[in-house]
């Protein structure tokens, strides 16, 4: 765990402690379990986004993909009586395919990732709305897929704590992603391509493939998150479902230390970023803050957290240099950051 992750964790603990102090119900098992459930769903597609951000790209179509694939998934199992295992596989495959298309357009045709995925954002949202004729897709009353529901939206009691399966899924995915990013050769390549694509090519890395792979992973994970979210809401209004979720994902990744210039970011950070965002949502409801202030509270807490972090970093640096101890790395960081 690096320093940035640590200070994020401290921020979460401080916010949590303050909320728990004002309203102890924050710590109730039920509430924690609900919040964790949200963390699970949002964390998965935030990790997806992080993969793309690390290679220096961006994926804006997350929310629209969640809407489109969610609609398709429900449609498959409710209206077309497709076996849910098959439907699940089909949806994940669709997500992978979307990722492959994005990656190919970016690398082979050379279109800016922002443009490619902005078009994705528009097209998939439109497709979802057109497909359902703007009607809400849902399970209807009493429709039931016990096994699927239990797997995706259920909770398992562990030492008296109802652990949501979504968070178990997030845990598994995060561990795998961590190993891939921080321990495997492929992860190295992701960081290398994100930092300096030309140098990566000079080192014999097939940077095109690495970029495509990142988008494919992102697509697959987003599809999986889409299914979890669909099973959670059990109904999808294609016009609004998942809109703005790409911002959540990017925010979580950036809070977690990813730089939009590529080549930076840690999985632990992204998960912690998601936790922070979800705790903030929870806080607004628990403290009875008017829901109109929801966004404002979120923004303010993030800003204060980041400011405090910067302040501490600068104080520490000043303290060490005054004492004559060699200063921390990244002397240029505070200045260079302005260009980040």
Partner 1 sequence: QAADKKVLAFVVNGASDFWKIAEAGVKKAQGELPNYDLQLKYPEQAAAAVQQRMMDDLVAAGAAGIMVSAVDPKNQTEHLNKVASQTLLFTTDSDAPNSKRIAYIGSSNTELGKDAGKMMLKALPNGGKCVGFVGLPGADNARERIEGVKETIKGSKIELVDVRGDEIDQTRAKRNVEDILAAMPDVSCMVGFYSYNTPRIYEVLKEAGKLGKIQIIGFDEDPITLGGVKEGSIAGTVVQQPYEWGYQGMKLMAAYIGGNKSGVPANGIIIVPGKVIDKSNVDDFMASMKAMLKK
Partner 2 sequence: MSEPFLELVDISKNYPGVVALDHVDLSVSRGEVIALIGENGAGKSTLMRVLGGVVEPSGGLLRVDGVERSSLTVAEAIKAGIAFVHQELNLFDNLDVAGNVFIGREPVYGGPLRLIDRKQLHARVRPLLERLGADFGPDAPLAELSLAQHQLVEIMKALSLDARLVIMDEPTSSLTLTETDRLMRVIAALKADGVSVIFITHRLNEVVQCADRAVVLRDGHVVGSLRRDELAPAAMIRLMIGRDLKSLYVPPAAPPGASVLDIDGAVTSTYPDRAVSLSVRRGEILGLAGLVGSGRTELARAIFGVDPLQAGAIRLDGEAIRVASPRAAIDHGIYLIPEDRKGCGLLLDVSIAENISLPDLASYLRFFLVNTARETANARTQRERLKIRAPDVGTTVGSLSGGNQQKVVLAKWLSMRPKVLIFDEPTRGVDVGAKQEIYDMLRRLTDAGVAILMISSDMEEVIGVSDRIAVMHEGAISGFLDRSQFSEHNVLQLAVGHAVE
Sole binder of ligand ATP in the list 29, 331, 333, 337 (CB under 6 A)? 331
d(CA 98, CA 124): 10
Sole binder of partner 1 in the list 114, 140, 186, 330 (CB under 8 A)? 140
Binding span for partner 2 by CB under 8 A among 40-48, 115-123, 239-247, 327-335? 327-335
Give how many residues touch partner 2 by CB under 8 A. 32
Given ligand ATP, partner 1, its own copies, none, residue 307, with its beta carbon under 5 to 8 Å by kind, binds its own copies
**Which residues from 213-252 bind partner 1, rule CB under 8 A?**
229, 232-244
Given partner 1, its own copies, ligand ATP, none, residue 140, with its beta carbon under 5 to 8 Å by kind, binds partner 1
- Measured from the CB of residue 332, what is the shortest distance to ligand ATP in angstroms? 6
The contacts found for 273-277 with CB under 8 angstroms, 24 or more apart, are: 273/8, 273/46, 274/39, 274/42, 274/43, 274/46, 275/12, 275/39, 275/43, 276/8, 276/11, 276/12, 276/15, 276/252, 276/301, 276/302, 276/305, 277/42, 277/248, 277/251, 277/252
**Which residues from 281-310 bind partner 1, rule CB under 8 A?**
281-282, 285-286, 288, 290-292, 294-295
Instruction: Say whether 138 sits in a helix, a strand or coil.
Output: strand
Q: Exposed, middle or buried, 157 (CB in 10 Å: 0-12/13-18/19+)?
A: exposed
**Paired tokens of 38:** 């949200």
- Residue partners of 237: CB distance under 8 A and separation at least 6: 136
Q: Is 188 in the site for partner 2 (CB under 8 A)?
A: yes
Q: Is 104 in the site for partner 2 (CB under 8 A)?
A: no
Q: Is 264 in the site for partner 2 (CB under 8 A)?
A: yes
- Residue partners of 229: CB distance under 8 A and separation at least 6: 41, 66, 70, 242
Given ligand ATP, partner 2, its own copies, none, residue 28, with its beta carbon under 5 to 8 Å by kind, binds none
Site residues, partner 2 (CB under 8 A): 179, 183-186, 188-189, 191-192, 194-196, 198-206, 263-264, 321, 324-331
Site residues, ligand ATP (CB under 6 A): 329, 331
């Amino acid at each position: 765990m690096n320093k940035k992750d640590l200070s994020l964790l401290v921020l979460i603990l401080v916010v949590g402690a303050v909320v728990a102090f004002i309203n102890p119900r924050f710590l109730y098992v039920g509430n924690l379990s609900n919040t964790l459930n949200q963390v699970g769903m949002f964390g998965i597609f935030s990790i997806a986004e992080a993969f793309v951000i690390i290679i220096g790209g961006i994926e804006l179509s997350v929310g629209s993909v969640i809407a489109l694939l969610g609609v398709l998934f429900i449609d498959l199992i409710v209206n077309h009586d497709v076996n849910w295992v098959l439907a699940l596989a089909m949806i994940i495959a669709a997500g992978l395919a979307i990722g492959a298309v994005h990656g190919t357009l970016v690398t082979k045709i050379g279109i800016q990732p922002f443009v490619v995925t902005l078009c994705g954002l528009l097209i998939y949202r439109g497709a979802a709305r057109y497909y359902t004729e703007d009607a809400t897709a849902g399970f209807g009353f009493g429709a039931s897929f016990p096994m699927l529901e239990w797997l995706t939206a259920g909770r398992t009691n562990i030492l008296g704590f109802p652990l949501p399966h979504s968070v178990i899924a997030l845990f598994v995915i995060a561990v795998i992603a961590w190993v891939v990013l921080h321990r495997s050769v492929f992860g190295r390549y992701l960081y290398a391509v994100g930092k300096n694509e030309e140098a990566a090519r000079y080192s014999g890395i097939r940077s095109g493939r690495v970029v495509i792979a990142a988008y494919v992973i992102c697509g697959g994970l987003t599809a999986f998150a889409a299914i979890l979210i669909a099973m959670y809401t059990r109904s999808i209004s294609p016009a609004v479902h998942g809109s703005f979720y790409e911002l959540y994902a990017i925010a979580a990744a950036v809070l977690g230390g990813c730089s939009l210039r590529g080549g930076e970011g840690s999985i632990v950070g992204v998960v912690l970023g998601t936790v922070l965002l979800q705790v903030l949502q929870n806080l607004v409801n628990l403290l009875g803050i008017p829901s109109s202030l929801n966004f404002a509270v979120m923004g303010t807490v993030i800003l204060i957290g980041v400011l405090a972090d910067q302040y501490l970093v600068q104080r520490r640096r000043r303290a060490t240099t005054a004492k004559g101890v060699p200063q921390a790395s990244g002397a240029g960081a505070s200045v260079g950051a302005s260009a980040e």
